[in-house]
Amino acid sequence: MVDRLTPERRSANMRAIRGRDTKPEIQVRQTLHRMGFRYRLHIKDVPGRPDIAFKSRRKAIFVHGCFWHSHPGCAKAYRPKSRLDFWDAKLARNQTRDAEVQNALSAIGWTSLIVWECEVVDREQLGNKLERFLEGSSVAQGRHD
């Protein structure tokens, strides 16, 4: 199948896609902040540079785009119709890298949570998921990291 967009337009669209500070990521951060949690962003010395990290709790949160990380069963994780060789390889590399990051974090005693882009819509359900993930903390004096 042929791409419906010109190469210039496709290139402009791809350049506009952000790798950090995306809308879903900001929504997760706002939810955590409202819940009283404090966190660090994109820590370089933690495998995978998690979107959100709680160093004292050794917990990391990754906010994944459903398309880019191939969220199973999600309508947003569609398969492109053009350049199939490129997209299949690209999305497979993303999934492989995600698994490697999860293994590296686990090896150093960190736990991680993936929040999918489609899960951010329901803020109450998102808050419950984040609370369950973070409540097992060993930090006694509160939620500040």
User: How do 59-64 and 52-54 pair as beta strands?
Assistant: antiparallel
Q: pLDDT tens, 43-59? A: 999 999 999 999 999 99
Q: pLDDT tens, 51-102? A: 999 999 999 999 999 999 999 999 999 988 888 899 999 999 999 999 999 9
Q: pLDDT tens, 4-63? A: 767 677 666 666 666 678 999 999 999 999 999 999 999 999 999 999 999 999 999 999
Helix axes 23-34, 123-134, angle to 10 degrees: 70
Q: Phi and psi at residue 89, in whole multiples of 5°?
A: -65, -45
Taking the C-alpha atoms of residue 97 and residue 112, their distance in angstroms, rounded to an integer, is 14
Could you tell me the residue ranges of all domains in the chain? Answer: 20-134
Taking the C-alpha atoms of residue 50 and residue 42, their distance in angstroms, rounded to an integer, is 5
Q: What is the CATH number of domain 20-134?
A: 3.40.960.10
Task: Kindly tell me if the per-residue pLDDT of 131 is higher than 50.
Answer: yes
Q: Which amino acid is at 80?
A: P
